[in-house]
């Protein structure tokens, strides 16, 4: 059976810097797959390459058998591959509602937009309370909710999440990962990039370990949790 999202032998460069070296990974429909690794390993570069923000010099990225590398980023979003960027990146001067509506730029049916807005507010009641507030005045946790909600407005079929726990207090990290579990239960396929390997391997079914632009390991989340190298390097165990 064909994977929903398949990356094959991808090489991505920043100028002369070889950032991704022969990366291959796949995600089946309905899975949560995590990509773990240290800072600078190439995790965000992988997501940006899938999203079309970076062009691979070699290799292919296929979504349901279609080559995504032919498309521009906004066209990839319209196909249902949507990224929640690292560091939230909300539109600070726009209100919460305006930010969410920006996420639906590819949708022309106002009824669909209204329905999606209701779904986001049901998932994040805090955003509904703050819907008229300027996004730049929200807390870090609220901005992460907003960035996730904005991505959901685009009707994602695959959600690319880049470091959702970054900079958040532990209680907020738990909230965000509860949301990830709920999205998964609702049928959203998720590729999760996360420095907090422990919690990432708790929610994912499979994982890839990336180091210096190379995939070192590819296994079930359970096996990765038991792997001695993963335990020492990423789970803080001796």
pLDDT (tens digit, 9 = 90+) per residue, 164-203? 888 888 888 888 898 899 999 989 999 999 988 999 999 9
As to burial, measured by CB atoms within 10 angstroms (0-12 exposed, 13-18 middle, 19+ buried), residue 103 is buried
For position 153, what pLDDT does the model report?
A: 93
In percent, the amount of the chain with pLDDT more than 90 equals: 73
For position 91, what pLDDT does the model report?
A: 86
User: Mean pLDDT across the stretch 206-219?
Assistant: 96
Q: Virtual CA dihedral for 59, 65, 69, 71, nearest 10 degrees?
A: 180
Higher-pLDDT residue of 237 and 196 is 196
For position 5, what pLDDT does the model report?
A: 97
Task: Please give the CATH number for the structural domain made up of 1-80+156-238.
Answer: 3.40.50.300
Residue 141: band (very low, low, confident or very high) from pLDDT cuts 50, 70, 90: confident
Distance CA 68, CA 51 (A): 8
**Arithmetic mean of pLDDT over the chain:** 92
CA distances (Å), origin 96, targets 93, 117, 152, 213: 9, 11, 14, 36
Where do the CATH 3.40.50.300 domains begin and end in the chain? 1-80+156-238
DSSP-derived 3-state class of residue 223: helix
Task: Tell which residue, 43, 48, 50, 41, has the closest CA to residue 3.
Answer: 50
Q: Evaluate if residue 62 carries a pLDDT over 90.
A: yes
* Of 65-74, 100-109, 134-143, highest mean pLDDT: 65-74
For position 238, what pLDDT does the model report?
A: 61
Distance CA 156, CA 80 (A): 4
What are residue 112's phi and psi, to 5 degrees?
-65, -40
User: Mean pLDDT across the stretch 9-25?
Assistant: 96
Query: Cα 175 to the chain's mean position, in Å?
Result: 16
In percent, the amount of the chain with pLDDT more than 70 equals: 99
Distance CA 108, CA 93 (A): 24
Q: Evaluate if residue 23 carries a pLDDT over 90.
A: yes
For position 92, what pLDDT does the model report?
A: 82
Q: Evaluate if residue 51 carries a pLDDT over 90.
A: yes
Higher-pLDDT residue of 195 and 214 is 214
């Amino acid at each position: 059976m064909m994977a929903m999202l398949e990356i094959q032998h991808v090489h991505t460069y920043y100028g002369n810097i070889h950032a991704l070296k022969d990366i291959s990974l796949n995600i089946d429909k309905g899975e949560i797959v995590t990509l773990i690794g240290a800072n600078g390993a190439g995790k965000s570069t992988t997501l940006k390459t899938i999203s079309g923000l970076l062009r691979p010099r070699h290799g292919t990225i296929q979504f349901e058998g279609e080559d995504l590398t032919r498309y521009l980023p906004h066209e990839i979003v319209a196909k249902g591959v949507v990224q929640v960027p690292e560091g939230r990146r909300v539109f600070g001067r726009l209100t919460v509602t305006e930010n969410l509506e920006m996420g639906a730029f590819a949708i022309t049916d106002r009824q669909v937009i209204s329905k999606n807005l209701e779904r986001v507010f049901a998932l994040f009641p805090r955003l509904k309370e703050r819907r008229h507030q300027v996004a730049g005045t929200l807390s870090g946790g609220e901005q992460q909710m907003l960035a996730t909600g904005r991505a959901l407005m685009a009707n994602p079929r695959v959600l690319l999440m880049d470091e959702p726990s970054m900079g958040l207090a532990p209680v907020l990290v738990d909230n965000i990962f509860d949301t990830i579990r709920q999205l998964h239960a609702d049928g959203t396929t998720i590729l999760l990039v996360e420095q907090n390997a422990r919690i990432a391997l708790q929610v994912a079914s499979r994982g890839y370990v990336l180091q210096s632009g190379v995939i070192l390991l590819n296994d079930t989340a359970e096996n990765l949790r038991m792997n001695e190298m993963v335990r020492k390097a990423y789970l803080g165990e001796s």
